[in-house]
Structure 1
Amino acid sequence: MRIQDIIEGKKEWRAHVARVKALPQDYRIVYKEIQKYLFKVGPVELNDGTGLLSGIIDLFEESAALGKGVLEVTGSDVAAFCDDLIKDSKTYADIYQESVDQEVNKAMKKVTDKT
């Protein structure tokens, strides 16, 4: 990764954070919880920039402009809202499960080859 890419990434992230700070307080609170949840659950595309997170901010900005409350947008189960957003996305948990399965299969093959 080039220095210029790192600098550009930081600029994009700062602009992203500025958009979050401009949201109404209830939207900021829910956005930060969504962000924490997604970072823990780990959809892989979160590392490809801020696409998913920016999309959430777009939705929140539009909804706030229409005078909607944040829970009107997400529903009261914010985790379920997040899960729905990433239902077709590969997560780090998926990658880890695949890795475990491969290791078990290798180990079992070694055991069966020895017998």
Structure 2
Amino acid sequence: MSIQDIIEGKKQWRAHLARVKALPPDYQIVYKEMQKYLFKVGPVGLTEGELLPGIVDFFEEGVAEGKGVLELIGSDVAAFADGLIKDSRTYAEEYQESISGDS
């Protein structure tokens, strides 16, 4: 990874965070909780993928339609996040395999 790649990645992340900050406060709170949860249990390559930007897209659409965040995702934020990553390989799975000797 070159320095230019790192700089570009930081620019993209800052732009992403600016989009999150433009959301209404209730959406920001839910997004940040989902982000924390996904960083703990989420899929391998979470930061390189389209999952987090996709969540922001979805939230922006909800705001444009005048919906509250819980109308979009339901009252169980973790269950919603789990649904997003249900078919993804997670760090927890990799860890379990490493300690059990599976490859």
Aligned residues: 102
TM-superposed deviation, 1:45 = 2.5
Match of 1:92 in 2: 91
Deviations 1:59-96 (A, max 9, x none): 00001100000001110000000000000000001101
Indicate if the aligned counterparts of 2:42 and 2:85 stay in contact, CA closer than 8 A: no
Counterpart position of 2:47 = 47
The alpha carbon displacement at 1:101 in A equals: 1.8
Kindly provide the CA deviation profile for residues 21-80 of structure 1, in whole angstroms up to 9, marking residues without a partner as x.
Answer: 00011100100000000011131121325x100000000000110000000111000000
Task: Tell me what 1:76 maps to.
Answer: 75
Aligned-residue CA RMSD in angstroms? 1.1
Could you tell me how far apart the structure 2 residues matched to 1:47 and 1:93 are? 16
Q: What TM-score comes out, normalization by structure 2 length? A: 0.94
User: Runs of 4+ in structure 1 displaced over 3 angstroms?
Assistant: none
CA distance in 1: counterparts of 2:29 and 2:47, whole angstroms: 22
Q: Which has the higher helix share?
A: 1
Q: How does 1:9-48 map to 2 (within 5 A)?
A: 9-48=9-48
Query: Matches of 1:45 and 1:81 in 2, distance apart?
Result: 19
Aligned-pair identity in percent equals 74
**Equivalent AA in structure 1 for residue 23 of structure 2:** L
Where in structure 2 are there 5+ consecutive unaligned residues?
Answer: none
**Structure 1 counterpart of 2:29, one-letter code:** I
2:56 maps to 1:57: yes
Q: Which amino acid aligns with 1:67?
A: G
Structure 1: gaps of 5 or more residues:
104-115
Query: Match for 2:86: what amino acid?
Result: K
Relative CO higher for 1 or 2, CA cutoff 8 Å, sep ≥ 6? 2
